[in-house]
Chains A and B, each alone.
Chain A
Amino acid sequence: MTGSDRLATRVMTLVNGLRTANRWIALLCGMVLVGAVALIIVEVLGRQFPALHLGGADELSGYIMAAIATWGFSYALVERAHVRIDLVHARLPVGGRAVMDVIAMASVLLVAVLVASYAYDVLAKSVARGSRSNTPLGIPLWMPQIIWFGGWVWLTLTSALLLAATVILSLLRRWDMVEQIASIPVETGEVQ
């Protein structure tokens, strides 16, 4: 095993760890979504059977939506599920494809860094003002917002690590690995 092989293997181990972590996060998001289903069903039943009436399912579901979509961005990224147009990409040699993959990954990092930093301001303002939702429930807004903000921070971290991995593997000319972690997947019919 050469030094570059060892480096490539180490990078792939890191990426695989990142994938596993994101899969668990996505699974957790899925279970929270199932929780939202239960909440909404209780609300629907509560209209017929007032004993079950809780109220606020709509508001809580909104927070859940913000949380699962945002935390899922990283999962979609490691699964290469974000929509990319491969008109040019597919016609390039491996090296050219890798350059585009680096650009794509860097663009996600750019967006994540910027949104995360401005998301922090939103959260900080809600904390500073003690903002509460404009509903009878009056939920302190920092609660849903800190989860949402965390999702963008996690995307920053995930995309930064993936970008570093893509750059290193490209420099090592390990095109097969670049393809595995950052390329546009060939549609398999499983992609939804």
Chain B
Amino acid sequence: MAHDTPDLAEILRTVHEFIRDLKPRLGGMDGYQALCAQMLLEIALRELPEWQPQETADDARLRALCEVGPEAPRETLAARLAARIAAGEFDARMDELADELLRHVIAKVRVSRPKHLEPEHRAD
């Protein structure tokens, strides 16, 4: 599914930069382990393009709300749905849309901060 910014590559780059800049201030074994952590993140960044994103239930939910099929790229779904909401296309069924959006946002929070969710939202 499409998550908010930063995406996975950006997260890895951010931590990589942080460790790279921190490393000179660490000595001995910590400095050595920081170097290893930096190299691990470089491996992950090079390997990342080999990974194919999976179509998730949330992608299907957004497709249904946007009334588009699998031909629409998943990274365009949030923008399509946002535009439809802004245009007032859901004004007559805002409550129904809220239920769908809650499921959408739960899917995001299950990845970004699962402990923040109410217990009944932590797993299906």
Whether chain B is bound by chain A comes out as no
